[in-house]
Every structure is written in structure tokens, then in C-alpha cells.
Amino acid sequence: MLFNSIEFIFAFLPIAYVVFWALPGARPRYVWLTITGYVFYGWWDPRFCLLMAFSTLVSFTAGLGMLNTPVGSPRRKLFLVVPIAVDLALLGFFKYTNFALDTVRSVTSVFGMDVQVPHLNIILPIGISFYTFHTISYIVDAYRGVITPTRNIWEFSTYVSLFSQLVAGPIVRFRQIEEDLEAIGESSRTRWLGRGISFFCVGLVEKVLVADTLAAMVDPSFAHWRELSTGGAWLAVLGYTFQLLFDFSGYSTMAVGLGYLFGIRIPQNFNSPYKALNPSDFWERWHISLSSCLRDYLYIPLGGNRGGTFLTYRNLMLTMLFGGLWHGASWTFVFWGFYHGVLLCLYRVFRPAWDGLARGVQQLLMFVAAMVGWVFFRATSFGEALHLLRIMVVPTEGAWFSDIDVRLVLVTLAIAAWWSMRGPNAFDMSHTWTVRRRVTLAAAFGAGLALIVTARPSPFLYFQF
């Protein structure tokens, strides 16, 4: 089920909302949010609800075990290692098995060996990377003593299966919403109602009016990448650069709005990343929940910047390589992570010179650097990525693929460029319900709804991860 679908907006969400606020006390609301989360998740394939339930039970049981185990004991460490191993094993099997088999097949063929390596018919459960991060972060924080594990299975299952952020984030840590979960029985329906509706509408505009309009040009362009001209390649890459931002930022903004509607404050996941002045600034703004998790659960445990220059660069590269691999089982994603790792290392080397540039120059250079990286992120092969980069530099004749009016594309690109590089993001905006804001949101929601009704809803790009 998609946030930008008729069944969600006019059936699932109203029913979930009305029943939730009609229920008295915390336990019934936990149960109801768990049920709605599983219905939402099971809409694609009910079988994978069992997988999420198993992961939930394993992590919850481990948390209970830590409550009665002294800090530093071998048994406590067992409650850390076992659930993480189980979660990573499940993630590895479903997401990376065929990637590993295909890599073995490719490597052996290079050496002239004809090894029969099968390709397994494995279906990737939607959102498994996101809820796996939820359970792992919970276990690690419990082990470190950052949180006290909950004794309420329904509270924990609500945290894991919360439909607003279940399949594409943000990656919310338990401690970030623990206060709201604990107070869910006494929370007020009207306290954040207007703010929730406002965030949801802004996210809907980002996704439907901006990202999906650009997708109508970007998708056919990348589908025929061999035939693109230099101008067509630039237009496709530029369009994808903005499409990806507004698609994922739109989902995150809608998730925040849905959280407010149910009395839960979900943290910001995007902070105008194309306003970034350098690679470090970019990763403090882009997919904040993931970058902060990589920092706290991988980079810092590896040693962070405490072991000298070489080890700092090593830790940065390993962290970004893992971040690339997390995004997808493909060497293009791994290279994308490697690319950003190199950018971070280079910035540390040349920081004085870079920071001495004018702010506008820094922002433009960082935007172009990010755009080059998105070529590898979007391409299905290195051949495609290198071809696109080559024709972007070497003047090449070819086609300008676009299934929609070029004027609409250019206007949408202009809006996306201004909004992302100069305008306010959802957290910068005022969500006070003035008459002007009511009219603006009503018009925007109506336009988005009209597109949803007349066209097939477009899945969010990060669902594949």
C-alpha cells in the first residue's frame, strides 16, 4: 500500500485514525497500531509478516534478557550477538544471496572457469533493511544502557511495525520516540493534528507534483540511455537528482505527518541536502537517520577519528562502503559508497582550501559532485554509468527522451532547484493554520489528489532498499 494511493488516503488512514483515537488507554492503542502496521505491510505479500514478527520476537526476547543480566557479563553479550546475527542472517539471505552468487559467477568467468552457480528465486521483502536497522539499533542501545528495554511486547511491536515509517524510513531509534510511546494512552488527538495534516500535504506535493512529474521524463531517458544526446543525458541526470530527493524527502515528510496524527514525533530525515557546502555537510543533511546510524553504530565503534589519519580514512571508507552496500545488492551501489567515502577523505585533506571558497561556489561544486554520484546510484551497470558520464562531457548527438511537455519539465526543474537549494524544507516552514495556509494546502492537496486519481500511483524509490 502506498501513501499516495486512493485506498490509503480514503480507506486505510481514516479507519486507522478513527479507531485509534476511539480506543481508551495505551495497550489497546499499541495493539491497534501493531495490527494496522501488519495490514499495511502485508498488503504487498502477507507471507513476509511472519518474517517481521519473528525478528520482532527475537529482539524483544533479547531485550528482556538484558533486563536481568548484569553489565559486562558474557550472557549479556550473548543477548547482543544472537539477535543481531539472526537479523543480519535474514537480511543477508533475502537481499544479498544472489548478489554473492552472481559475484562468484563473474569472478570465476574472468579466470576462464566454467562454474555452475545457480540464481535463486528469492523475493526481497519490502522494507527489510529499514526494520532490521530498527531492531538492531534497539538491541545495541539496550546493551549500551542508552535505553531500558521495554517489558511490553505490544509497545515494542508498535515501534517495529509503525506503518508510517515501516517500509522506507526514517530509521527511527526507540529512544527517539520512547517518550511518545510511553504517553500514547494519554496523548491528545488535537495537539498535533494541524501539524500532522500540514506535513502530510507538503510531502504529498513533494512526491506527486514534483518527483512523479520528473519521473515521467527521467524513467524513459534512463531506459534508452544508449540513445541520449549530451543535452538529454544532462537533463536526465539533473532530473533524477531532484526526483530522488523529492521522492524520498516526500515519503519522510509524509511519515512525519502521519506520526503527528497518531501522537508520535518522528525526527527529521532531510535538511535541504542540496544546500550542503561540502561532503561532510551533505551527509549531515541527506538521509539523516541512516547517516547517524552509520556514524554511531559503525564509524565510531571502528575508532572514528581517534586513531590517527590513516585509521580515520579507513573508517570513513569502510563506513561508506557499507552504506553503499546497504542501499542495494549491486556493485554500482558499492562504488557509489566508495565515491562518497573518497569525497569525505578528500575534504578532510583539502578542507582549508575548500572552506576558503565562496559559499555559492562550495554549494555548486558539492551539488555537481552529488549529481555525479547519483549516476552510479541510478545506473544498472558500470557500462551505463560510464557512458552517461562520457557523453555529459563529450558533445554527442542523440535523443531527448520525454513523454511529457518539455515546458512542464523545465518549470518543474526550476521549482525543484529553487525549493531544494534556496527554499524552506518542511521543518523550516510554519505549520500554523492561517487562512492563507489553509487555502494553499487545500489547493496543493487537490492537485496531488487529481494526479493520483487520473494516474497509476508511483511507488517510492526507496521501497527497493
pLDDT of 451: 82
CA dist list (Å): 13 to 2, 7, 38, 417: 11, 8, 14, 32
- The answer to whether residues 367 and 424 belong to one domain is yes
Q: Report the domain count for the chain.
A: 2
Asked, for residue 290, whether it belongs to a domain, the answer is yes
Helical axes 230-261 vs 193-204, angle rounded to 10°: 160
- The answer to whether residues 183 and 198 belong to one domain is no
Percent of the chain exceeding pLDDT 90 equals 70
Asked, for residue 129, whether it belongs to a domain, the answer is yes
Asked, for residue 1, whether it belongs to a domain, the answer is no
CA dist list (Å): 305 to 296, 316, 323, 339, 345: 13, 9, 18, 19, 12
- Other CB atoms within a 10 A radius of the CB of residue 271 amount to 17
Residue 256 and residue 199 in contact, taking contact as beta carbons nearer than 8 Å = yes
- The answer to whether residues 379 and 309 belong to one domain is yes
Asked, for residue 139, whether it belongs to a domain, the answer is yes
Asked, for residue 28, whether it belongs to a domain, the answer is yes
- The answer to whether residues 324 and 412 belong to one domain is yes
Q: Which domain holds residue 58?
A: 6-187
| Span 402-447, pLDDT tens digits | 667 778 888 999 999 999 999 999 999 988 888 888 888 888 888 8
| Span 111-137, pLDDT tens digits | 677 777 777 788 888 888 889 999 999
| Span 34-61, pLDDT tens digits | 999 999 998 888 888 999 999 999 999 9
Last residue of a domain, one of 167, 187, 207: 187
Neighbour-count burial of 190, counting CB atoms closer than 10 A to its CB (0-12 exposed, 13-18 middle, 19+ buried): exposed
| Span 146-161, pLDDT tens digits | 999 999 999 999 999 9
DSSP state of 459: P
What value does the CA radius of gyration of the chain take, rounded to a whole number of Å?
23
The residues facing 399 across adjacent strands are 228
Angle at 269 between CA 372 and CA 294, to 5 degrees: 70
- The answer to whether residues 136 and 283 belong to one domain is no
- The answer to whether residues 423 and 286 belong to one domain is yes
pTM equals 0.93
pLDDT of 419: 95
DSSP state of 427: T
Q: SS3 of 403, please? A: coil
pLDDT of 30: 97
pLDDT of 409: 85
- The answer to whether residues 140 and 245 belong to one domain is no
Residue 338: partners with Cβ closer than 8 Å, 6 or more residues away: 317, 320, 321, 324
Q: How many Å apart are CA 298 and CA 294, to the nearest integer?
A: 5
Q: How many Å apart are CA 264 and CA 444, to the nearest integer?
A: 25
pLDDT of 403: 65
pLDDT of 308: 85
Last residue of a domain, one of 170, 187, 204: 187
pLDDT of 69: 87
| Span 225-278, pLDDT tens digits | 999 999 999 999 999 999 999 999 999 999 999 999 999 999 999 999 999 999
- The answer to whether residues 153 and 210 belong to one domain is no
What is the separation of C-alpha 306 from the centre of its chain, rounded to a whole number of angstroms? 29
* ω into 170 cis (within 30 of 0): yes
- The answer to whether residues 163 and 207 belong to one domain is no
Among 78-87, 324-333, 400-409, which stretch is predicted with the lowest mean pLDDT?
A: 400-409
DSSP state of 124: P
Residue 318 and residue 338 in contact, taking contact as beta carbons nearer than 8 Å = no
pLDDT exceeds 90 at position 18: yes
Last residue of a domain, one of 187, 221, 240: 187
- The answer to whether residues 303 and 280 belong to one domain is yes
| Span 331-342, pLDDT tens digits | 999 999 999 999
Q: What positions carry a catalytic annotation?
A: 327
| Span 354-392, pLDDT tens digits | 999 999 999 999 999 999 999 999 999 999 999 999 999
Asked, for residue 434, whether it belongs to a domain, the answer is yes
